[in-house]
Structure 1
């Protein structure tokens, strides 16, 4: 077991069902989504297939390991499963047939040169016959391995997003563009009968979001006046981003939470289109 927390970290969001018992981690899956400045956390009751906790923290010096040292259950061992996704543009998707284990660094170097503080990893998408190669902070990967061992699994957040989309879409779902704005970045996915496009852009303004949305629609022959765009992520119906999107794209709608899983009533306090990639770690 981890040492007793020395302090209580300040949180941006903390929602816990009264049935959640951190003293019994084996009954739960722990899902983490880590960005440069935020950590998003969710806990799912394995037996009931139900999310019973949702939390959000601003990361300071020391990142997730430092936060875990102050948190009441982040450093606990013995979870049923732990899945940690990292955000960022340092990733590439490859056809599974073209990938060979050991070639991760070579494949990623075409898009991103890893720094000395980064580790290159990969995960597979059997349903899409793809491999996701990505870079992650070495201190974060070391913390995951030392704290959670074989129970822990590291992924790129696009893997979670794609898993959620595949889970939610029916076999006959129409070709569609999906947006997932995050902290200073925008993930865009186009999926029809198969995945056609997936990329992450750096975005700091509402105009950036609209620019990349229209650019991708034009490149993939999607019509802003006809084709529907589904949005998840960190924005509100009255935000500048959503208002500007509706100016240029006629059919914009917010997406629902992933289905076939239950959510504590405590989570009714947040918009259903928030945390889609975090919740989608349940299907990875």
Structure 2
């Protein structure tokens, strides 16, 4: 059966996007990396062929009762074992970035409590960023973390979506890239990153309107001495070129543009059906 044909179990899933290259063979998971991005009410996934360094699947689903584990039970390959690597990123504001020299394993909870008090249903994890000499400490749903381990074992790794976003930006920038602001709007959230020779700023704001996005963008630019008339702003994420968010951004920022997909990797022609600036943090898990 062609890889593009849905299985009986997955045909009834709440599918928002389903793109698969004909060469993708779910029966051979060891040839692929599986990347997952979980946010409240939604799961995005991508599959990359390891040998060819090529993305061969991109999918998005609404999450219902039972979340990711329940979706995986109905999906045709999400519960498979034997992937070359599995990376699951979680969204949210419960994270903090620390300089690597100041971090000691075992201090995760103390570090995160400065910004977020974990609930009884959360677990605290950390991810290192050798290229930026940073450690990302974050909270995640404990049941989701348990499912990841139970399903994929040591192959599965959990991280915060800001880690994926930073890895993608660093991969895409040249050594002499100028200081720049990057935006990544997601469901009810806005991630802002300012990166020059070093990471200067990274934060996630709760946003529900286009005005919220513009307010936080201008606020961060003012606080870090960036000029809306001169400095370029790169946008990824979930908005259309004719969206209210992008139109309002262009009203207040002269040099705002959409970003591109992560480089140094190939993409199936099937993925041409989506704008290149979408799913950047998901696709950037390839470099995280």
User: How does the TM-score come out when normalised to structure 1?
Assistant: 0.98
Secondary structure, in 3 states, of the residue corresponding to 2:44? strand
Pick one of 129, 154, 165 that aligns with 1:150: 154
Pick one of 58, 64, 69 that aligns with 2:68: 64
Partner of 1:83: 87
Pick one of 89, 103, 115 that aligns with 1:111: 115
Secondary structure, in 3 states, of the residue corresponding to 2:154? helix
- Equivalent residue runs for 1:17-166 within 5 Å: 17-166=21-170
Pick one of 266, 269, 273 that aligns with 1:269: 273
Q: CA deviation at 1:10?
A: 2.4
1:5 touches 1:71 (CA, 8 Å); kept in 2? no
Matched, 1:280 2:288: no
Q: CA deviation at 1:6?
A: 5.0
2:34 touches 2:45 (CA, 8 Å); kept in 1? yes
2:37 touches 2:89 (CA, 8 Å); kept in 1? yes
Partner of 1:242: 246
Partner of 2:171: 167
User: How does the TM-score come out when normalised to structure 2?
Assistant: 0.96
2:10 touches 2:76 (CA, 8 Å); kept in 1? no
Secondary structure, in 3 states, of the residue corresponding to 2:238? coil
Return the alpha-carbon distance in structure 1 between the equivalents of residues 236 and 21 of structure 2. 24
1:25 touches 1:80 (CA, 8 Å); kept in 2? yes
Secondary structure, in 3 states, of the residue corresponding to 1:12? strand
Return the alpha-carbon distance in structure 1 between the equivalents of residues 160 and 179 of structure 2. 24
Partner of 2:186: 182
Misfit runs of 4+, over 4 Å:
4-7
Matched, 1:229 2:233: yes
Q: CA deviation at 1:122?
A: 0.2
Partner of 1:255: 259
Q: CA deviation at 1:61?
A: 1.1
RMSD value, Cα: 1.0
Return the alpha-carbon distance in structure 2 between the equivalents of residues 141 and 152 of structure 1. 9
Q: CA deviation at 1:7?
A: 5.4
Show structure 2 runs of 5+ residues with no match. 1-6
1:5 touches 1:69 (CA, 8 Å); kept in 2? no
2:9 touches 2:76 (CA, 8 Å); kept in 1? no
2:164 touches 2:285 (CA, 8 Å); kept in 1? yes
